[in-house]
A = this chain, B = another copy of it.
Amino acid sequence: MSSSEPGGPGLRVTVSDVAAAAGVSRATATRALKGEGRFAPETQERILAEAERLGYVRNTMAAELAAGRTGTVGLMLRDASNPAYGLLFSRLQDEAHRRGLDLVTVTIGADVQGAEQVNALHRLLGMRVAGLIVATGGITAAQLEPFADQVPIVRAGRVETAEGIHTAHYDDPSHGELLASHVLSLGHRRVVVLSGAEDVSFAEHLRASAMSSTLVDGGASVILVSAGAAPTDGVDEALDAVRDGATAVMCASDYRQLAVMRALRAAGLSAPGDVSVTGCDGILPGADLLGLTTLRIPVEAVAAAAVETMQRLLSGSDAESDSSETVRQPFVGTLVPGSTAAAV
């Protein structure tokens, strides 16, 4: 328990104060406080005791400014109200902690564009973070690239093609393919693919593209519904297609799948009785109870790889910009066959 001196404002206590109280110089106090360099054990003890007594908290800004380096890694995060991002956030955090990396996070509102993103990026860069983990699609390669040779950047979740920016990402094309194969194997040959437009969600776009081509290659006909960001967008069109004979609706995300299920219910239809439905993400608690047919994205693997890569980049910091290849690791999730999709 650090108890601050009565009336003595702990956060305004400096090393000088501690040093003076302990009767040593600032330098000695600094060393003893961080336990590096040379100092007499008993001196340290005294210094530590004084620091404790005064409620000293090292001023990180000053320390890192003086030291010329930062011990923390910056994390740019997309809105965490989406459980998939919340979980990724959580796992990145755990992993970083396991590996002894300190993370500071700044988030960007879900639907905010350019200015805000750049602002957040600058906040982090302004802190001179040792590295940057980017877990939001909202920021573009062009915005990141100028800094790629000054600080290691790892993109988590989404693929990135820019040179010098490493990634640990979901293999969304494979995800789409796996789901589509499943639907094909159930005998569906007339399928709706419901997805956010490319500029709305790149991940959904990748999944949907893969679904479509896999379906087509498998001899099925595809009705592609490209929707807005809201999960309910495009649901009506999808249902129309069902009434027109489609036997399955493949959604590019579980949120859309939920929206479809609601609409189905409202329309007095059911899955898989009247139509098979699939989603993608597999993160929702309770998805099993709903019997959602989905694909569990490999959040843990992506988080672990992102942090591991960052740590490696941080260690080999002596390396020149081109000494190491750009790391790009895709991870494939696992199909979760549920009860919302069945054979025709």
The chain A residues found within 8 Å of chain B, CB to CB, are 1-4, 9-12, 55, 57-65, 72, 79-83, 85-87, 89-91, 93-94, 97, 102-107, 109-110, 116, 122-123, 125-128, 142-143, 146-147, 149-151, 254-255, 258, 261-262, 265, 284-290
Closest to A102 in B: B123
**Contact present for B126 and A57 (CB under 8 Å):** yes
**Contact present for A4 and B284 (CB under 8 Å):** no
Known: A4-B150, A59-B126. 10 other contacts (CB 8 A): A1-B143, A9-B150, A61-B128, A80-B90, A81-B91, A86-B86, A86-B89, A255-B285, A258-B285, A258-B286
Query: Least Cβ distance of A246 to chain B in Å?
Result: 21
Pairs A-B, 5 closest by C-beta atoms: A86-B86, A60-B126, A81-B90, A61-B61, A105-B105
A12: chain B residues within 8 A (beta carbon): 150
Assuming the A-B contacts A104-B105, A284-B285, are A10 and B126 also in contact, with contact meaning beta carbons closer than 8 angstroms in the complex? no
**Contact present for B288 and A262 (CB under 8 Å):** yes
**Contact present for B147 and A285 (CB under 8 Å):** no
**Contact present for A146 and B2 (CB under 8 Å):** yes
Query: Least Cβ distance of A79 to chain B in Å?
Result: 5
Contact of A1 among B65, B91, B142, B290 (CB under 8 A): B142
**Contact present for B107 and A106 (CB under 8 Å):** no
**Contact present for B104 and A106 (CB under 8 Å):** yes
**Contact present for B290 and A290 (CB under 8 Å):** yes
A91: chain B residues within 8 A (beta carbon): 81
- How far is it, in angstroms, between the C-alpha of A72 and the C-alpha of B254 when the chains are bound? 35
**Contact present for A123 and B60 (CB under 8 Å):** yes
- How far is it, in angstroms, between the C-alpha of A103 and the C-alpha of B58 when the chains are bound? 20
- How far is it, in angstroms, between the C-alpha of A122 and the C-alpha of B255 when the chains are bound? 38
A107: chain B residues within 8 A (beta carbon): 89-90, 93, 103, 105
- How far is it, in angstroms, between the C-alpha of A146 and the C-alpha of B57 when the chains are bound? 12
- How far is it, in angstroms, between the C-alpha of A96 and the C-alpha of B288 when the chains are bound? 35
- How far is it, in angstroms, between the C-alpha of A138 and the C-alpha of B262 when the chains are bound? 37
Contact of A286 among B64, B87, B284 (CB under 8 A): B284
- How far is it, in angstroms, between the C-alpha of A12 and the C-alpha of B68 when the chains are bound? 11
**Contact present for A146 and B10 (CB under 8 Å):** yes
Query: Least Cβ distance of A241 to chain B in Å?
Result: 21
- How far is it, in angstroms, between the C-alpha of A105 and the C-alpha of B110 when the chains are bound? 17
**Contact present for A287 and B289 (CB under 8 Å):** no
- How far is it, in angstroms, between the C-alpha of A30 and the C-alpha of B65 when the chains are bound? 18
Contact of A61 among B57, B127, B147, B255 (CB under 8 A): B127
**Contact present for B4 and A146 (CB under 8 Å):** yes
Closest to A258 in B: B286
- How far is it, in angstroms, between the C-alpha of A290 and the C-alpha of B59 when the chains are bound? 50
